[in-house]
Structure 1
């Protein structure tokens, strides 16, 4: 079977600069790579020394229509005053540029640092930001964006891991058993029927920037439809019940300054956590032909990693099958 060509293998520095210039920018500083794996993202300054970010989309991941949905969401949020890194549009309103086989979008570079999740004041401010986001996005239609489907996502992740050839012997058998049990459990779960809205989709601290009092959201690459709690649960500690309750209280209090939060959604958190854990390992393996991934995740070739992963999945399986205090 022919090997896959590595994505971005033809994105040389000179081609990257030409693409940015053809989109309508002069380059005032040498672009440098930011920490991104799914796409290729570079910071640069224009001729006026204004800082920008150039995002080159991974080939074949999203359709142009799905990227247009992402940009439309950003435009609506920015128009509503929600602090986000909005996409740049040229005089004709174009935000996605096709240049020399690459798809490119540009964003103003936002400054700030990631939030401190043990700071209750910052959690309140994060709740406000996400509440504002959802108050604006809840009525928006994104027809080309996915809807969260835990059973399908976990099954696809399981299949990807088992077909990767990375697991063998007892570890493979153990992974196969626990992942199958998780998929079966999800299939028979009876969760509260809550609304799905347009969400950021990957709302972890690395995609949040601020000064400790106000925060902005960046990187809407995974936006789609899910319960609102999808954008909240990654701000929580999972180790101490008392800490998590206190964190939730602050986040929800800030959130409800802009939008009511349906507390029945808290019952979804173990499912969301399990799905993310399974998807993350599968995502890395599915991208292994991209040279950036073996370099960034070398432990994926370690048997110790997979044994630990199986143990973590077993913990999540038990959490799915037993009553949750959050519910």
Structure 2
């Protein structure tokens, strides 16, 4: 389908004429050896590569309209779910001294609460393998507290399912001061086709010199049974260019006995470019035993 591609291209071209619009993106590609339940292959992966534009229109000294249009594209083969581009975070919002109100399609407060702690986000070691709640709901309206609250940021979102189920709620409260980050978040009936579900998440991170320690605990409640899980991560900046990182998680939320372990490293070329390598193993008590070994390159602009 070429319509989204043409619309996005026209929007990006016209954005160059406005000083208040930022065109941005990320190309992330890895070549990996995948061993999935005994099936082995070499594959080129596009890891949530994207392009978008964002900006604001000031209405007064304290009021502005905010917007973002972000699309994912597959750098490996150009096909993302049968299209050239698919929608990611897209919203329109109003920012005032009392906070920001926004509506559209974007990551829920529960998902964003752990964004800086998941060190293998968008790769095979992403916490979505063991946790519920990694959602980007449609028809979401969200309020975010103003920066005047200092180290505390709260988000409350309402997700209307319209005629397709029970409406959902997602909320989070985060504390960020210097090297300490703490957050608590919850979802209620947010996932598609999953009414009467509750998700609770605790997140923490602390940076001590060159080392960042992080972790999260999640409890998932539903009519057919409950589950919980945790993960811990460590990032060690050996130099300004070399970073080592590892992550381990375990949960019964998606599958009984699910475990995920990842080990990797980054080589930083600049603020926008890096090379990386990783090894990930995902296992559970059923039949899955998957291993991935890969190298990749990322460029942000």
Task: Please identify which structure carries the higher strand content.
Answer: 2
Instruction: Give TM-score, length-normalised by structure 1.
Output: 0.28
Instruction: Give TM-score, length-normalised by structure 2.
Output: 0.29
